[in-house]
A and B are shown apart, each in its own frame.
Chain A
């Protein structure tokens, strides 16, 4: 029977999600495997497991539940062991490493921040900063939009100005929030964001982090910031949390 692994925690974790509904349909109940000081959060794995939305959610929910009450190392989605014995032996073989990671991450959570531009606001901003661009826009507007040639010229210049803003704003988001975090990791490349950055934040200083986000919203009103957290520390499970976990 294949065993699905959600994450690794300390045996002493106060509230492991034993019996919670896990992946699969019907949901496989979550079980806890213990080996010395460590515990693995597992369940049976349905035959032919695929990354369906329901299962992704179940993975995230089980880890949220475990992470809410104590330190947990989240597995990447879809980790399958041939059986329970294999999981237990891995816990035994690498006990030192996992124990160290759990200790390091104890009391810390991940906040993921994604930033996009408010298009109207950023356009006003680049026009305010570039008199030439503004003059082009005014000229085009006077001519009811201008010729195709003029539109392309203007569009190219504006695109380049907005892209430059995207790059500098990504740096700004990181710079503004970094001081309130213990570690920073660039999120996976995904589309549609000018920044996708994860911050490792101590639970005790989460308020400070949230306040820094609010401050950034105030000082950079053309930025739209989405914050997700507290999350299990997906991006910080490996040593050297300054870089993405590979």
Chain B
């Protein structure tokens, strides 16, 4: 657009993306951020994030979809809840980050290994009703491909130690008995969730 060529540094406000994010389960909390920065100084992984949570929220407000979804901020959130406990505006930041992860996965922004981990974890839960840590690992490498497996080889000592100490069972736990019911519940829950977010 003309304006942007005149001022390459400038941003224009595109509310469409912001509104889409606000419609997510915890998305509307973002609106009440007052940019105090408490989350940024509380975060255990802030130093490796592209944007601190408050900056990410501001980018959402500005409608910068690509920057937001390509950022590593929500993937690097470890759910330690420090920011959530401290936020003076009561924003459940951890839960907002969950929504952003989901939104990113849904929109194909899955370059970060954490995205693969989430998907692997969920596949375990959805298939068995319980998580088999060996299964999560295997699925993770399946999604990420050979490079990641080679990197993992460097960590084989850890795996061997755990095996030696009996902490990596070879066989997964049995499916839960109510797996069929659980699947129905999950399906219904997803349906309700979609309906709620479209409201």
User: A and B from one assembly?
Assistant: no
Which residues of A line the B interface, CB within 8 A? none
Q: Identify the B interface with A (CB < 8 A).
A: none
